[in-house]
Amino acid sequence: MECPICGKRMKTYAVDFIQGTLAEENNKCPEGHYSYDYHYGETVWKIGYKFLTYHYTQSEEEYRRIKRKVDKLIKQYKQPKKVRRLKWSVDTVNKRLRRKML
């Protein structure tokens, strides 16, 4: 399984089967961007610093809603942050401060 954010191979920490049914699974991005955990019917996604959960007792519509949120967070996390350019360099600011002090 690859990280949907950086594309690196995720580390699988535990996979447990009970009578042929998946009981536990833990997958984590080596860079810490994303993790997917499944424990006895509960799924937890971690994207950046946000967590989303789904339990098998919730409705199918609720699952789709949560999955759309997961996809939206992944898309937002993948986009580079916009960096504002400074109008003045550090040297310019220091010169102006020195002038005011004199």
> What is the model's pLDDT at position 15?
79
77 domain residue, yes or no: yes
Q: What is the pLDDT of residue 21?
A: 72
pTM over 0.75: no
Residue 43 lies in a domain: yes
Per residue in 4-20, pLDDT (tens digit) is 999 999 998 877 777 77
Confirm whether 2 is domain-assigned.
no
Write down the pLDDT at residue 36.
92
Mean pLDDT of the 49-78 span:
92
| Position 22 in a domain | yes
pLDDT at 85: 59
Question: Residue 27: how many CB atoms within 10 A of its CB?
Answer: 19
DSSP code for 62: H
The answer to the question of residue 4 being in a domain is no
- On whether the CB atoms of residues 51 and 37 are closer than 8 A, the answer is no
Structural domain count of the chain: 1
Comparison of pLDDT for 9 and 78, the residue scoring more: 9
